[in-house]
Amino acid sequence: MKYVSLPGIFADSPSNEGGRSLAFYLAMEEYLARNSSEPDLFFMWQVEPSVIFGRNQVAVNEVNLDYCREHSIKVYRRKSGGGCVYADEDNLMLSFVTSEQNVGFAFNRFVNMVLLVLRRLGIGATGTSHNDIMIGDRKVCGTACYHLAEKSIVHSTMLYDTNMDHMLNAITPAREKLQKKGIESVRQRITLLKDYTPKSLDEVRSVIRDTLCEGELTLTETDVRGIEALEQTYLKEEFINLIQQ
């Protein structure tokens, strides 16, 4: 599987110094699915504080929009299903684009890839029937997937660290979900990777890439311009379905 990187002045960095939005990386996944003949591609990314919700969700039901506006947290919709998540510079977003036609198989492959990485880090973890990855009884990684252009796209949020105040306040979890699981707060359902490894976030990035990838696919400037054009479709108000104030 090849690792996808951006060219020259567009090169990505662990701290997202290029200032790319979350929408850019969603568009990058879609662009690769539509335009690359490679069977399996993978890349990692980090973004400024952002909330991303699933294709079937209603923003006002999932996101504390007032809190996000007050704290300059961006809000985006993705094309995969699943729940609402918070992301920032202290956690890793993982993207897997594969020619696997069966979404269930694609999910399974990806979960096993992440479990392999965690084993390399000396961390015992398990996958669930909902394609979450757990350390003990707490989630460290959630996944979502969708099928497009004869490819499957699986993306994931790996919680290395995070701004917990933002995570707890930017997302409005369904009351029924918390009651059903007997949980008093989101914090009790998740855990952070940094608590299980002495490695820094950059070192974890290196372990992930070295474990999963052989070779590299460097996109062209033409590719980047194509991704930027596609990015605009993710930024349209009618797609996000909320009014920015």
Q: What pLDDT is stored for residue 177 in this prediction?
A: 53
- Non-local (6+) Cβ contacts of 146 within 8 A are 55, 79, 80, 81, 103, 152, 153
Q: What pLDDT is stored for residue 89 in this prediction?
A: 95
pLDDT at position 176 over 80: no
Angle at 120 between CA 118 and CA 124, to 5 degrees: 45
Helix (H) or strand (E) holding 44: strand 40-45
pTM of the model: 0.90
pLDDT band at 185 (very low <50, low <70, confident <90, very high): low
Q: What is the mean pLDDT of residues 42-56?
A: 95
DSSP H helix total and E strand total for the chain? 9, 11
- Bridge partners for 43 per DSSP: 95
